[in-house]
Structure 1
């Protein structure tokens, strides 16, 4: 499903390149749930953004569902995100001008795969049926993250990328959101790659890999 080979990424700082990823190798099979851990600043979010085609890399290879990402233009990267990848951000990233129902449907509509019956079922599973007409600002943090999870899952992506999806939530709320995420990933047979600082959350996934000094190792 996902193969990352000898991936390199640097950022310019004060006119000098700052290497962040220094030859990352990672393979994730279809339907697998993998936790990505590492110290703050180790490049975990950078790696997720590169896999999501939100940024370009300097060298190496990323193959997602049989497609090589190197060399894709902006339109092709947008098509990839729209059709095959669901992204869940720590900061929710809901669209403030859209109500809950429209936020949930946004990704699926973009992909041309909106299914009203699946939307209704997903909304109920997320405990959001009574909140579909509300605005994001009217929701608690846990409710907003449930909307973000639903939006990522609604289009039935082959890969879900989650960047600290419970990082802004208290332990109980985060645990409930994690339960929903894992249940929905299993139901849709998606693959999950999740960045987390929590050893307890990482232990709930199939396996854990660790990013340190710009490279990935198994734990």
Structure 2
């Protein structure tokens, strides 16, 4: 199993956000997570991505448990096994498009220039490699973020509202690419979205409500 969350519980003060959440994801699967604003979707995704601690339960990524890892171990998991795509893009403003795309793959020591070239071509970024994030449209920045997440061929891709800052047409085009490229790379995709229409495109869908998951 690529990603396995077992009975995850998370509270902030007296407020329970996740109340015994379990889910699993394997390579090649796509899973959409929906829920109302404030339901804990992003918190769950961040826990799955070794970005946020949990109170009880266990998270396994490629069979490796997160609960026994310190900050360095979690950072290694993120570097080697996870591609992250955020709503706010989170590109590095001082790096051009080419360097932003290659950034995580180089950190992980898995830069594949042929694969990166294919990504750049498919993402329609060939004419923008020397530009900086501030010179790009929102849709172009999200394409760069997808390229960065996939350049190192991570087994697990996590996307947090990847079209939240885009208009519908641009968002649809970005999602077309995200689904296509994760399938090409053989990754598993867990996506948080507020859109039932986008969620319906995933192979599986789960809804988070009152801290628990339903089909």
TM-score by length of 2: 0.98
- The SS at the match of 1:156 is coil
- The SS at the match of 1:71 is coil
Bigger mean CA offset, 131-140 vs 118-127: 118-127
Distance 1:217 1:65 in 2: 24
Distance 2:132 2:27 in 1: 35
Aligned residue number for residue 41 of structure 2 = 44
Aligned residue number for residue 22 of structure 2 = 25
Number of paired residues?
A: 214
For the aligned residues, what is the CA RMSD?
0.8
Which of 52, 64, 67 aligns to 1:67? It is 64
Q: Deviations over 1:12-61 (max 9, x none)?
A: 3xxxx321111101122221100000000000000010111111111001
Q: Which runs of 5+ in 1 are unaligned?
A: none
1:167 equivalent to 2:164? Answer: yes
Aligned residue number for residue 8 of structure 1 = 9
Distance 2:201 2:101 in 1: 26
1:76-155 pair list within 5 angstroms:
76-155=73-152
Q: Which runs of 5+ in 2 are unaligned?
A: none
Q: Moved runs in structure 1, 4+ residues, more than 6 A?
A: none
Distance 1:121 1:184 in 2: 10
Distance 1:66 1:31 in 2: 17
Q: Deviations over 1:75-106 (max 9, x none)?
A: 00000000000010000000001000000000
- The SS at the match of 1:127 is coil
- The SS at the match of 1:87 is strand
TM-score by length of 1: 0.96
Distance 2:57 2:113 in 1: 40
Distance 1:158 1:217 in 2: 25
Aligned residue number for residue 55 of structure 1 = 52
Aligned residue number for residue 189 of structure 1 = 186
CA displacement at 1:190 relative to structure 2: 0.1
Distance 1:103 1:180 in 2: 18
